[in-house]
Chains A and B, each alone.
Chain A
């Protein structure tokens, strides 16, 4: 069972929810797909960490074979190549690794080389297998890291901590998810962004429900939105200074206090039932 936790707006509590759900789920995996700003590992402080470099392929030219025909320069849709003073210039950070230039070079003058863009760190924290993707500073896209993170087979339920927003990097993170938890905060900005990320999960036909976080007294625009659109509300986490403090210090609430343990365990149970329901409906 793969559960993705996403939000649209940043700061609503994705990591709080994903870390605590994984911690309360027994033998499970926590996968941090927010490769630009990974945070889950700060909570889990995993042990026995192994690191794997993730690289992409960039062209490299053998100048002795290049005859200056410029087929590659003309082909490249990203304008990553230029031919100046009888030399082929290659712009690594504009290249999209499509291999077109390598494929179409008649002289076999172009080959591929590896360029490291980040890493995956894998470790363990009690009964949670923690996998964290990290994009190197200055690199544009973390998608290849996410692809590798999700490619590896896992046992037990896995909780996928997604990046904020609804752009392609989020789409990549939810690709294999069985269920999506949308974490919403009761603010005007929160609801606006919730609507977008809900459109994304609907587009990919992902069963989903909303978890209302930081709930205060009084009107909750996010709750109103859910009721209005007929969205399943999975649960509510009240605004809680103590929880905020624990989270702020990167401590795992379910491991510190039984009341949080119970709350997240019930939430997990609700999600499990939703997933079961969806699978029954589909089959």
Chain B
């Protein structure tokens, strides 16, 4: 059992999954053993660029063992994989549905990482 991370729109359990990983306003860190939930502010959300990288660093630092996300850029994926954290593709935008699916082993790994949005403060 472990901690899993999910990008979410708000810092309450009624919230839904965020469509973006790097720019999600918050991360939900859910402990599947104790069922405790904690919310992390994602400082990368307001980053000029390289948001995926910074967000990934935050997830790694939270000691999550898995990331559940609808999408993930390739740089963020690089960071997450370097930390040996598995990335799973979410099935819908419901937190409860995805946590249940994860616990039942029904989620598939996210294989289609997209090239970085190149949204860094570049010229």
Contact = CB atoms under 8 A, between A and B. Distances in A.
Residue of B44, B60, B75 most packed against chain A (CB within 10 A): B75
Interface in B69-123: 75, 78-79, 82-84, 116, 118, 120-123
Interface stretch (B5-13, B24-32, B34-42, B48-56): B48-56
B50 A80 contact: yes
Nearest to B44: A79
B123 to A, nearest CB: 4
Contact of A78 (B49, B57, B78): B49
Given A84-B82, A140-B118, A78 B123 contact: no
Contacts of A76: 50
B20 interface: no
Interface residues of B, number: 23
A54 B109 CA distance: 40
A140 B121 CA distance: 11
Nearest to B82: A84
Nearest to B51: A79
Contacts of B82: 82, 84-85, 87, 89
Contact of B53 (A82, A143, A169): A82
Contacts of B122: 94, 96, 140-141
Interface in A65-112: 73, 76-85, 87, 89, 91, 93-94, 96
Residue of A82, A96, A167, A169 most packed against chain B (CB within 10 A): A82
B75 A94 contact: yes
Contacts of B53: 79-82, 91, 94
Given A79-B120, A83-B57, 7 more contacts: A77-B121, A79-B54, A80-B53, A82-B56, A84-B60, A93-B116, A94-B116
Interface of B: 44, 47-51, 53-54, 56-57, 60, 75, 78-79, 82-84, 116, 118, 120-123
Interface of A: 73, 76-85, 87, 89, 91, 93-94, 96, 140-141, 143, 167-169
16 contacts: A79-B49, A79-B54, A79-B120, A80-B50, A81-B53, A82-B54, A82-B56, A82-B57, A84-B57, A84-B79, A91-B53, A93-B118, A94-B75, A96-B122, A140-B122, A168-B123
